[in-house]
A and B are shown apart, each in its own frame.
Chain A
Amino acid sequence: MMFASQITPRSVGGVTLAQSAALVPPLIVVALAEPDRYAILLAVSLGAALIWEAIFAVLRRQGHGIHGVTTALIVTVLVPPDIAVWQLAFVVSLGVVLGELVFGGRGFGFVHPATVAVALLMVSFPQIQLPASTQALAVATLPGALLLLALGLISWRIIVATAVMTVLALFVKGSGVDLTALSIALVFGLIFLICDPLSATATNPGRLAYGALAGVFIVVFSSGGPPTAEAIVLAALMASVFAPLIDHLVTLAHARRREKRHA
């Protein structure tokens, strides 16, 4: 941990940069299937996210960030390639504005804008099916995950708690547990949506509870079999809504424990 504290980014821009770097391999793997199409999709989502950030920066007379890049990258990886360009622009705009900019920018809201964007896509256009995660995508997520772990930008507690709770919940539900299929399905959404430091809990016991809650939601929202991308996005959304409450309960319990110390 001595090492991590030395290299952790000391600005929100640095955090965004690290997250964007972590997102590059998954994007490349997904885009290899249809490079031309994905180039258009990426351009559209980047354009939509950054234009809204620029508009808000001008309206608020603040500096212009590039935080929309991570939102655009995550959304591009998650959406199906045959999505209409206007639909993508529409949901990215809604996600960035409603999930982030109305709260004052990156780090001031309580949900991840990409989660909001994809969740709104599912609600607004129910006919669109999110593509299932592939083995290649799961493998490509790992270097980024290791980078973010080393920088202290995601917590192993959330990863472990979510994975364990998902397995447990599937077991209780009576569905078969195929660990390989499960990890392939989980890994991208878990690392970039559920573990996002700004929408997750910020205390160590809270992280365990938050991860466990996300695991339960994943199983509740998926209809049997390995978890779907839709279920993970909705679970991330719901869990982050509960994150402030979990943190509040943890601080109350911690204060009670402090009271009893040195008694």
Chain B
Amino acid sequence: MRHFEIKRGEWPSNAGAPAQRINGQIAVGSAAFLGRDMPGLRPVFEVKQGEQVEIGQTLFTDRKHPEIAFVSPVTGRVSTLAYGARKTLSACILEVDDTVQADPASVPIEAASAASIRETLLARGMWIAFRTRPFGKTPTPDAKPTAIFVNACHASPLAADPRLVLEDRMATFRHGVSLLTRLTEGKVYVCQSPGDAFCAEEEQIEPVSFSGTIAAGLAGTHVDRLCRISATEKVWTISYQDVIAIGHLFETGQYLAERVVSVAGVGAARPRLVRTCLGANIADICDAGEGSRALAGDPYTGHAATYLGRFHAQISVNAKTTPKPIRTWTLRKHTGLSALVPTGALDHALAPDILAVPLLRALSIGDSETAARLGCLGLIEEDVATLSRRCTSGTNYGALLRLVLDDLMEAAA
């Protein structure tokens, strides 16, 4: 197994880390699909407000690609369907109804051909688990990636250890990985922490280990070390829990919305791992008092939210309760632009082999050509979060990177 030691980025801290055992199942009152996770997605709803839905039932499809279905993570009732600007998805909120307890029969799906696997993933709501590099978007239904990266790396002590989650799901996970090999002619890299390999090395499957800073757990770092990407050479990334769900879908014919989520951080009353569902209501998971300080996502990229996002498996609880009142002089200070000082901390912030300060300068002025030459195509928002934290300018480089990526995507289309 190849190993990569990542020395750049934020070093993990154990403060507020959960014990690595799963503290039971949490039944949430509501769950949601948020437009935030799929920017620009225009839905065609197949359900109406107030309608009863079952787990795995199609809620809406993508208007551009009607093959891509978005399915319900819970059994219950559709309480809100909201459009955002330009008929994009704002939110689709579902109220859980425990009284209807359907127990669908377990019918394995036969993975006859590559086309049928694709069709199943598309129609049964698992296609959106993939994200492309470059650009970090849902792949088009006919796309052929040059490689697929499964992220099963345990880099942050605040997150759940994949080894624990996979313990009793290993066979399902391996089945999922073998299905992924049918979607690409290249390799499926299973990126994990050092230790026993999750998958045996095969012709198309390669386990690779990463350790070091928190950046060792970012898919952008894995892609940078193993593969070359450009506007035409695309790879896909997927999280290990989604691979389990894919394996489960083909083994039983049922949609698996259950996810292990960590509730951790310096402000967490009792840092813990819980089983809950995709898009779960954060307040239902948190203890009383934690909810107001909880962020969806890790402490670096997380944001205050009511529901977990599609790709979140972590709730970070801050120490601070309320933001400090802003004094007038700080307001005055923030009205001016602040400069980027090329400090040593910035040089050591970015794990992919990219020159940090030139990249930040290119992003600041929206120079997409230079940014692409420097290697920004391999990055998405989460990869540059450390740079935003460490830069003296206080700029949100994730937002600037998205503007540049949108620009490059338009040029490539």
Please determine whether chains A and B interact with each other in the same assembly. yes
Q: Which A residues are within 8 Å of any B CB, using their own CB?
A: 1-2, 4-5, 8-15, 57, 60-65, 104-108, 151-153, 155, 197-198, 200, 202-204, 247, 250-252, 254-255, 258, 261-263
Q: A5-B10, A12-B393 are in contact. List 11 more A-B contacts (CB 8 A).
A: A8-B345, A60-B336, A61-B335, A65-B336, A153-B344, A203-B355, A204-B347, A251-B373, A254-B355, A255-B373, A262-B227
Interface of A is mostly: loop
User: How far, in whole Å, are A57 and B349 apart by their CA atoms in the complex?
Assistant: 32
**Could you tell me if A198 and B374 are in contact, using CB atoms closer than 8 angstroms?**
no
**Could you tell me if A251 and B358 are in contact, using CB atoms closer than 8 angstroms?**
yes
**Could you tell me if B344 and A1 are in contact, using CB atoms closer than 8 angstroms?**
yes
B333 within 8 A of A: yes
User: How far, in whole Å, are A151 and B343 apart by their CA atoms in the complex?
Assistant: 8
**Chain B residues whose CB sits within 8 angstroms of the CB of A152 once the complex forms:** 343-345, 347
**Chain A residues whose CB sits within 8 angstroms of the CB of B344 once the complex forms:** 1, 4-5, 8, 151-153, 155
User: How far, in whole Å, are A255 and B342 apart by their CA atoms in the complex?
Assistant: 20
For this complex, 7 residue pairs linking A to B, each with C-beta atoms less than 8 Å apart, are A8-B390, A152-B344, A153-B341, A202-B357, A251-B373, A255-B373, A261-B353
User: How far, in whole Å, are A198 and B341 apart by their CA atoms in the complex?
Assistant: 6
- Distance of B156 from chain A, by nearest CB (Å): 15
**Could you tell me if A198 and B339 are in contact, using CB atoms closer than 8 angstroms?**
yes
B399 within 8 A of A: no
A-B Cβ contacts below 8 A, count? 110
B25 within 8 A of A: no
User: How far, in whole Å, are A254 and B373 apart by their CA atoms in the complex?
Assistant: 9
**Chain B residues whose CB sits within 8 angstroms of the CB of A64 once the complex forms:** 332
User: How far, in whole Å, are A263 and B227 apart by their CA atoms in the complex?
Assistant: 9
**Chain A residues whose CB sits within 8 angstroms of the CB of B332 once the complex forms:** 63-64
**Chain B residues whose CB sits within 8 angstroms of the CB of A252 once the complex forms:** 373
Query: Which of B11, B347, B390 lies in contact with A10, CB distance below 8 A?
Result: B390
Say whether, besides A4-B344, A4-B345, A107-B340, A63 and B355 are in contact (CB < 8 Å).
Answer: no
**Chain B residues whose CB sits within 8 angstroms of the CB of A5 once the complex forms:** 10, 344-345, 348-349, 390
User: How far, in whole Å, are A104 and B332 apart by their CA atoms in the complex?
Assistant: 16
**Could you tell me if B343 and A15 are in contact, using CB atoms closer than 8 angstroms?**
yes
**Chain A residues whose CB sits within 8 angstroms of the CB of B227 once the complex forms:** 262
Q: Which residue of A lies closest to B339 (CB)?
A: A107
Query: Which of A4, A9, A57, A105 lies in contact with B392, CB distance below 8 A?
Result: A9
**Could you tell me if A202 and B342 are in contact, using CB atoms closer than 8 angstroms?**
yes
